[in-house]
Amino acid sequence: MILRLVVLLSGHGSTLQALLDAIASKQLHAKICAVISDQPHAFGLQRAHQAHIPCHVISRKLGRTRQAFDDILQQCMSDYQPDLIVLAGFMRLLGPRIVDAFAGKIINIHPALLPKYRGLNTYERVLASKDKYHGSTVHIVTQACDAGPNLAQVRTPIDANDTVDSLEQRVKQLEQQLYPRVLQWFAEQRVRQQGDHIYLDGVLLPKSGKIFAPETLL
């Protein structure tokens, strides 16, 4: 099937670009029906325009309540009847009503080996730790931030000379390969969710999600 996707972003949009490239090369059988940003100047919007994808900016305007923001966002997403909502660097938490309305259909990629380092500044935090690995996780979004059941992870060793920039560059390169692969599972209808359990081709995935070795992605 061709997945109908709505992509939410706030920034540079390299994740969106990776999805567009995977669609163009037919590795991902999907159509991006719309891109929605909470940031009017997000570079990701320019990428979407260039690809002739309808764009919407829903900003947290002065005086607009959290609830009003969520209502507008939910309506805008529903209008496109998406199979999946894909978070691609969207820097706002989705309200509980939205998460409920699209339960099991909102997917996120988070630059950490969840459940470690939920939230922001994962690169700074992992470099300040004694961890030997960092990476990225694709997961289903639930009410708690970055806590949803995991679909897949890729990990990379942390080098003694790594900086935030070098590590981020390496992880981003991997996640841009990982994300389309995992979304393609949905296009092929290989994923089933039962509560916190994720089955891929009928087989229960470990809590980490399926682990990809970097060399299988690059």
Return residues touching ligand GRF (CB under 6 A).
9, 11-15, 44, 88-89, 109-111, 136, 172, 175
Please tell me which residue in 12, 29, 49, 110 is annotated as part of the active site: 110
Cβ closer to ligand GRF: 71 or 214? 214
Cβ closer to ligand GRF: 15 or 156? 15
CB of 203 to ligand GRF, least distance (A): 26
CB of 154 closer than 8 Å to CB of 216? no
How far apart are alpha carbons 29 and 112 in whole angstroms? 26
- Give the CA angle between residues 172, 47, 88 to the nearest 5°: 40
Tell me, yes or no, if 110 is annotated catalytic.
yes
CB of 74 to ligand GRF, least distance (A): 21
CB of 11 closer than 8 Å to CB of 89? yes
CB of 11 to ligand GRF, least distance (A): 4
Cβ closer to ligand GRF: 19 or 198? 19
- The pair of structure tokens assigned to 188 is 């092929």
Tell me which residues are annotated as active site. Answer: 110
